[in-house]
Every structure is written in structure tokens, then in C-alpha cells.
Structure 1
């Protein structure tokens, strides 16, 4: 049941100036005391109404009116003073939380607040500590990404600079092999720029999609065949399960980008002799959607990493196995952002290290005529 105040009272309360929490606590104590004394006064008056036989003035009779007035004065003063004193102790954890949030705003994420004994304040402090830890982890990954991207950019830029200067000085011959090398280095720089641009679109939820009626099964098969030479070079089997035609409205370029990322990650996760399979099927539960499943027999993912694998700047590293070179740690973040921009999502499942992983892309089935 919700307590509703009359409109006039509500407007009057809204016109009152904002008061500090300390003053509010003090006034609440005083208000409780006043209500208690008023109740005592009403009880005394009720007692007098029932006792109308001249009890007032008899020996032993107590006159309640002076007592109520004195008790109200003394009690209100004591309640005001004590409430002001005790409110300082009650508000001390809140002041610490406020100071901690100011330090977080200034970029100091390492401070950990002590958890008070009060359950309500303890939950608030734990949330602030959890926020600080999350911000610290994001800042750590962002700094690592900036360093790695700077390294990734420095290498092709240095090579390009040396090759162009060599061509200008006549040291290198401008033949097809030289231009192919220049094209590869430019492609690396373009890929980094595209990744950062896509990440910005994901963060701002500003993806511009160009939906068209697309056969999802054919799109998955074409993408897999496009990457098959890389799988053959790595001696990893790539199997695409034939399926019926599933046509829906989506941006084929963006979904291809998602599949390239998932297949590339699956290839990196597998050792020679491994296997990656791609399947497409529809599912009516809870709403009609199409699922693209990319399953590998690679190194697998731990439960801890499953919870953070889609976080931006995150690169999962395994003992004895270096992270893939050139990875920016934002591919899965971008892939999930593209799927969600279509109204779908991406989920991952794994039975643990050494037992492979399965990524499932879910996209809604939309009628091409209605859209």
C-alpha cells in the first residue's frame, strides 16, 4: 500500500528548501517525540473525561498539563542535541562513500572502503568497491590496448616509411612484390582503424545497418569458404553443415564481419588436427529466430573467462599459449554489438579448458515483405 499525501501538503513540502541529512534526522527525532507527548496528552484528557467525579484537586491527583509542557520542552531539547550527535556517527560511512566517489571521478581506482556493520550501508559500500574494481580493470585493459595498438601501428608505419624512402632513393625496385608488401602494411593499418571505429559505434549504439533479404545459410557457407585456405594452411578441419534456406532481413556485410571474427578466433584456438564446425538452424522459442553456431575443439574457456570474454579490450591468455598477434581485444565486443544492433545477441558456452567452445549468434527472423 502506497501512502499518498494530499495535493496541498505535497506542494508545501516541495516548496521547502532542501535540508542536510543531519538536520532531517534531527527533525525526525523531534517529530517522533512530539507525537509521543501529544499521545500522552490525549490519553490524559481521555482519562479526565471518564473521571468526572471531582477527582481533579483531590489529594494524590496529578495534573498532566504542566507535565506535558515541561516534558515537551526538555524532551525536544534532548532529542535535538542527541540526534545531532548520533547523526554524525550515522553519516560517517556516507561521507566516506562520498569521498571515495570523488576519488573515483579523479581516476583513483585503487582505494578500497572498509565495509561497515550496518547491512544497508554495507551493501552500498560493496557496490562502490565493485565499481572501483571494474573501473580499474577497464582502465588497465584500455592502457594495454593503447600500448598494443601503438606498437601495431608503429611496425607497419616504420616498414612503409623505409620502403617508400628506399624506392625514392633507388634502393628498392618498384616491382609487384614491393607493391604487394606496401598493400599488406596498409591493410594492417586500415584494419586497426576500422576496429577502433567499430568499437566507437558499439559504445554509442550508433551502428548504421543496411538490411536486405539475406539467406543466412548461404551467407555462412560463403564466409566459411572464403576463410577455408587459412584453415587448410593451419591443418584445421572446417566443416559447414548443409541446411535449408533461411531468409531474413539483416545487414550481410556486418553479419559477415561477425562470422569472420568468430571463425578467426576458432582457428586460433585450435591446434593442428583440430576441427571447427558451422551450423545454421531456426528456433521458434521464445520468438522465431535463426541461430548460427560456430563450434571448435580448441583450448576451451574457463568459467571465469566466460563472464568477461565479451568485455572491450579483453584478450584471453592461456598458460603456455601466447595471445594471438595483432589482436586488439575488441573483436568480440564489436561482434556482440553488431548482433544486438540487429535485435539479436551472441552467447558462448564451454565445458572448460581443453574441451572447446561454442559461439551462438541469434538473429530475429523478420518477414522481408513487412520490413
Structure 2
């Protein structure tokens, strides 16, 4: 079993001291007699009348005895001084480490409000600040987890209550078990299924288990199909949807996953624009190419985003602070899944906004396929051609 850090530090100081004392002792004992003899030889070079060899030997012995005594006393004083210095320095070093250790144990036990007092030493201060940052991140994650549980419970409670009411009504004879009633029950069950699928998709995205069926795909008609499919929802909300024409851009993607990303972005843009007067909101869907990168942008004139929310909207379960305008009515995991899918394709998903009330733009980037390796495939007759601006409103 290894000794504790304070013991090892103290031993290291004492070892340095012992080496220093040993070197000093050996140097003095080896050099002092020779230097003494040389000096005495010059002093008594006149012969015995000046003391002779007997006096020189006695003086030499007395000097060596004095040196030995001085070295012993000096070694003891040095050991005591070094021990005190070692204890002081060790305490200054170990005390903050003990504090960090105790705090990490409290954090591991779930006390995420625990913090380490930042010491004066720069290295230890950096360690303490990292632990405090970790505690803050864990506290925020725990808050989101608790909020997610509440949101999931709420999302589940609503369709379950509705379905239960329909079933009880049919049992009591209040509702007839006709097609309309059964369709209403089926709709509530579909809501529950969508929630379960969203949570499952989030789990797969976070664990890197998303299955992709990658094929060469022309991105432009794929974007147009998504816009055409969602156009009726924009019409009902009084929001104008404009899909801008673009040339063919071939990418290697899973078309279903890319459609899922675009559906999420357009759905959020619709919610962001739905709060204003009917007919004033506009969403633009553009496709383009920048070098070897394909770019899809969804721009809206809705509630916008604060600078600090441009990255946070992609965090799991994040919602705008209370009182702020909302961009989504979901559980807060759609953009997290969308960014994960984009990165699984080798691309990314980012957000830009001038500020609250000024709209926002979400940019999906994907690597363009190497055209030399893409097999030539004719466009299927059923594919939607790219509409011009203002076609989808």
C-alpha cells in the first residue's frame, strides 16, 4: 500500500536534505584536511622552532574535531528547519486537495450546490475552478432532467386523459363507438407514440446508435418535397413559406433523416412566426453550395434568439427562459436530435439571429458527394420539381 501524499512529500524533502548533508560532510571531510595541511605547511615552513610537526598535528586534530561537531549540529538544525518547511509546504498543498476531494464526494452524492474555495496557488486554483464548473454543469443537467420528467409526464397525461375519457364515455354510452370517436382515440395514441419515438431518437443520437441508410441524393428536390408537404400547415397559420429554386446538388445522405431535420426546422420556424398578425410572418427555405459543402438555410421573421441562446437551443431539453417568446411547443429535444443527425452525416447544424424579435436562420451543412464516384441515376417521374419563390405560401 502506497503512503499518503503528505508522507511522500515530507520524505522527499528529508531525502533532499540527507543528500545535501552527505555531500557537504564528504566535501568538508575530504578537502578540509588537505587544505589545512597546505596552509600549515606554509605557516611552519621555518622548522621546529615555529612549532614543528607535533604542533601541526595537534592543531589538525582539534580542527577536525571542531568540524565534525559543527557538521553534526548543522545537520540537526538543517533537519529541524527542513522538517518545519516540509510540513508548512505540504499543508499548503494538501489542504486544498483535501477540500477538492471532499467537494467531489459531495457532488457525487448529489449535492450539486457544493463549491470549492479557490486557493491562491494558480495550479490549485485552476483545479478548484474546474471542479466548480463541473458542479454547475451537473446541477444544470439535473435541473433539466427534473424538468424533462415533468414535461414528459405532462405530455403523456394529456393524451392519456383524453383517450381515457373517450373510452369511459363509450363504456357509459355517452359516446357512440363510431369512426369519429375511434379516430379521436387513435389520434391521442399517436401523440403518445410520437413522444416515445422522440425520446428513443434522442437516446440513440446521444449514444451514437442512429442507423443511417446513406445513398447518393439530389438535395434540391428533397428540400422541395419537405416544403411542399408542410405547406398546408403554413397556409392554416397564415405564414408565408417561400422555397427558393437552386441547381442540383448531390450529397450522400439518408433522405429520411434529412427530411426529419428539415421538418423540425420548418416546424420551429412556423411556431416562431405564428405569434404575430396573420400574413406577416415569412419563412424562406434556400439550398446552395459553398465549395465542397451543401448548405440548406431556414430563415424566419419570427421571435428571434438572444445571443446566449444560439448554442443553448441545441442542448437537451433546453427551453427559453420564462417570459421569453417561444420557438417551439415541443419537449425541447428536436434540435438536439437534428444536430446529432447532421453531425452523423459529417455536417453540422448552427443558428444565427440578430437578436430577439428579429428572426433567426438555421443553417444545415452537408459534404457534397464526389461526383466521380456517384452513379448516374435518372430522376424519378414522381419527384417534385423545385418551385419558384412564393409558390408555397
TM-score band, normalised by the shorter chain? Answer: 0.7 to 0.9
Please give the alpha-carbon distance, in whole angstroms, between the structure 2 residues aligned to 1:299 and 1:338: 25
Please give the alpha-carbon distance, in whole angstroms, between the structure 1 residues aligned to 2:282 and 2:357: 13
Please give the alpha-carbon distance, in whole angstroms, between the structure 2 residues aligned to 1:366 and 1:268: 33
Matches within 5 A, 1:213-252: 213-252=216-255
User: Contact 1:262/1:359 (CA < 8 Å) preserved in 2?
Assistant: yes
2:32 is aligned with 1:18 = no
Please give the alpha-carbon distance, in whole angstroms, between the structure 2 residues aligned to 1:92 and 1:295: 55
Alpha-carbon displacement from aligned partner over 1:82-134 (angstroms, at most 9, x marks no partner): 42354234211111111111111111111222222221111111111111111
User: Contact 2:299/2:359 (CA < 8 Å) preserved in 1?
Assistant: yes
Give the alignment partner of residue 192 of structure 1, picking from 180, 195, 219: 195
2:319 is aligned with 1:315 = yes
2:184 is aligned with 1:177 = no
* Count, aligned residues: 351
User: Contact 1:292/1:360 (CA < 8 Å) preserved in 2?
Assistant: yes
Q: 1:50 to 1:219 in 2, by over 3 A?
A: farther
Please give the alpha-carbon distance, in whole angstroms, between the structure 1 residues aligned to 2:327 and 2:346: 31
The structure having more radius of gyration, on CA atoms, is 2
2:290 is aligned with 1:283 = yes
Q: What's the C-alpha RMSD, in Å, of the aligned pairs?
A: 2.6
Give the alignment partner of residue 16 of structure 2, picking from 12, 26, 32: 32
Out of 40-49 and 124-133, give the one that drifted further: 40-49
Out of 158-167 and 97-106, give the one that drifted further: 158-167
TM-score by length of 1: 0.86
Out of 215-224 and 266-275, give the one that drifted further: 266-275
Out of 189-198 and 26-35, give the one that drifted further: 26-35
Alpha-carbon displacement from aligned partner over 1:251-289 (angstroms, at most 9, x marks no partner): 1111111111111111111134121111111222xxx22
Please give the alpha-carbon distance, in whole angstroms, between the structure 1 residues aligned to 2:252 and 2:11: 62
Please give the alpha-carbon distance, in whole angstroms, between the structure 2 residues aligned to 1:364 and 1:127: 36
State the SS of the aligned residue for 1:363.
Answer: strand
2:314 is aligned with 1:303 = no
Out of 361-370 and 57-66, give the one that drifted further: 57-66
Matches within 5 A, 1:133-152: 133-152=136-155
State the SS of the aligned residue for 1:307.
Answer: helix
State the SS of the aligned residue for 2:336.
Answer: helix
User: Contact 2:216/2:369 (CA < 8 Å) preserved in 1?
Assistant: no
Out of 27-36 and 315-324, give the one that drifted further: 315-324
Matches within 5 A, 1:26-175: 26-41=10-25, 44=28, 45=30, 53-55=38-40, 57=59, 64=67, 67-80=70-83, 82-175=85-178
For 2:384, the equivalent position in structure 1 comes to none
Out of 194-203 and 114-123, give the one that drifted further: 114-123
Please give the alpha-carbon distance, in whole angstroms, between the structure 1 residues aligned to 2:220 and 2:120: 58
User: Contact 1:348/1:357 (CA < 8 Å) preserved in 2?
Assistant: yes
State the SS of the aligned residue for 2:268.
Answer: helix
- Greater relative CO (CA pairs within 8 A, separation 6+): 2
Gaps of 5+ in 2: 41-55, 376-393
Please give the alpha-carbon distance, in whole angstroms, between the structure 2 residues aligned to 1:64 and 1:238: 98
Gaps of 5+ in 1: 1-16
Q: 1:58 to 1:306 in 2, by over 3 A?
A: same
State the SS of the aligned residue for 2:283.
Answer: strand
State the SS of the aligned residue for 1:53.
Answer: helix
Out of 26-35 and 314-323, give the one that drifted further: 314-323
- Cα deviation for residue 209 of structure 1 reads 0.9
User: Contact 2:36/2:60 (CA < 8 Å) preserved in 1?
Assistant: no
For 2:345, the equivalent position in structure 1 comes to 342
State the SS of the aligned residue for 2:297.
Answer: strand
Give the alignment partner of residue 258 of structure 2, picking from 252, 255, 259: 255
Please give the alpha-carbon distance, in whole angstroms, between the structure 2 residues aligned to 1:228 and 1:38: 89
